[in-house]
Chains A and B, each alone.
Chain A
Amino acid sequence: MSFWIDPILFLSQWFHGLLEGWGLAPGLVTFLAYLIGGFILTLGAMLLSLILIWLERKVVGRVQDRFGPNRVGPWGLFQPVADMLKIFTKEYITPSGADRIPYNLAPVVSVAAVLMLWAIIPFSITFYGSNLNIAVLYIVAVGGLGELAIVMAGWGSNNKFALLAAFRAVAQLISYEVPMVLSMLIPVMFAGSLSLNDIIQGQDLWFLLLSPLAAFIFFISQVAEVGRAPFDLVEAESELVSGFNIEYSGLKFGMFFVADFIHAFTIAMLFAVLFLGGWRGPGAEDLPVLGFIYFLLKTSVVYFFIILMRASLPRFRIDQMMDLNWKFLTPLSLLVIVVTAVTNKLLPASLPLVRVAGMIAVNVLLWFGYQAVLDRLRRGRRRRVVAPEPRPVARANTTPSTPEQGA
């Protein structure tokens, strides 16, 4: 066992050997190892958000034909560090009449709910917090804690707008949990296990190839769970003052901000685990470091798509968002489960090419069939007009302009 083949296992064994050499009980050593491991993992996640914030600003800047941050450090790399130091020095303002305990607990719970997801993600074949046999259920359960944090923030702030925004945010999160859970059932069905390690081990063929529709639904509903563009209507900066976190300032607001960024990266990791084979790749079983690199690469690609989506798509209206969920994604995910289960039984598992071709064909058929049925249902029903009659923002200039004044 060399350091360069598997640094995490090497360090863990070294730590165990060292402390047991000092005469500590093995149970205590394991406890300490988990404590330190958890601390390092969460610290790494928090520090990662610095890079994520820089990356997001840079990529969105490029999309919008700007440079993005470019003053502090090379390529503006230290801009988030400067922002972080600034946010440390800001004043905490507690609104009068705030419910102190929920108000102060909400940012902590919000970050904790995201970091708890990191405990079960397998970064390589040997590097994971816990190989939970019900990891997929755990992901859904921990999502509930994030909703609780939002309700606590909205209630504790003693602000009716924060409370209304919390209502909207929780309504969105609860709604999009339905297609998310249904689409997560597909990898579970293929792998025959709820454990993320088993799901990765079962992906000789990436589940993205076997069920592109489930991957699509999972991606969309997870982006909605994070609440970023195009699903960021709960805290639409250009239309509302802010969301449930309006009364927060300084580092307390920073906690929500960090939780948002880590959550976006976490859903990219979950997508990589469930649909892109996680750490799997050539040579990853023998060289766990290589598996970690594969995993990071896959995650980065998915994360890049999330940023591009945020940069390029306009925001949904709330009725459009709910329509997309209840009238499009949820029925589709139910259909995908039934169709995938039947097709998977019919196709021979021994011929991977036939299996992939068959599954993709079925998915494409299902997609177009579903669209055709939806079109037929919508035909004859007039679309509700939500926008009022168009009216001129500025009156046209009725006096003819002279040629000198033109241009």
Chain B
Amino acid sequence: MNRWFVLGLLVVQSACLPDKKAASPPETPATTHVAPVAETVVADVSKGHVAPTLADIPNDEFGESVRRGAAIFFDTPTHAAQFTGNSQSCANCHIDGGRIADSGPMWAAWGMYPAFRKKNGHVNTMEERLQGCFTYSQNAQASPSGAAPPKGDAVLVDLQSYIFWLAQGVATGKEMPGRGFPKVTRPDDVSPARGAEVYAAQCSICHGENGGGLALEDGHRQFPPLWGPEAYNWGAGMHRLNTAAGFIKANMPLGKADLTDQQAWDVAAYINSQPRPKDPRQVATIAENKTKNHDEDCLYGEEHDGKTLGTGVARAR
């Protein structure tokens, strides 16, 4: 418990949660059987940028590339099968295909690259940034090709077409409101054990008791895995508790998103204390990799339930 308290001292910036509630005018019932609506909750779309929808994609060669990029974004294991080593799609974390503020909107990322990244110590283009998604969130090491798409690959071209298209009209180099996930103030005490209770009550209905998500009989990935061999690996951004708490607070449960800050952090800690594929940057020991690459709010290398987190679980081949 003491360890959690110590972690709790790592204070994150104050919350800047969006006000997503705004009443719309009552609508006239379309038919007599429908009762008048007292209140309709709508998102604050004034925040950031209202991206075009897929319905607006132009019917030309560029539009085709945008469409292919969108297809990859929404179902990565199917449309970028060579480079995807788990069951994760971009759109699992970038809600609505990267269109929505506070849900990792792609339009807020496009104009911020090239950028220096502490993660690899040099200036990254958007293309390299996307390779990073495959390496960590899609665990490309376990994919048929064994690696992220190489620079210039059509997968990366099409993804960039899609992202560029979402970002049209957004100023280059401008930090947009709603970028990434909201920062949620870290509570004094973060508890994976309490998070397990939140998970059982609110999350397991879709993501499963074992965190494996749900694949339908025909292979359709209905609900994404959160841990285990089909989930993001120990190097993905989502393994950081602050990132996961922000995502969860803004988006989960899907269509409801009403967890408290404490619940969001607790369940983030629970999910990120579970086994997942190993950090591909680990060359020597977990302890060495922890020092080198995990100077962040995460549980990598910690002892949990008698096991060292970060050992890694692999797909059965």
Q: Do A and B come from one complex?
A: no
| B interface residues (Cβ-Cβ under 8 A, vs A) | none
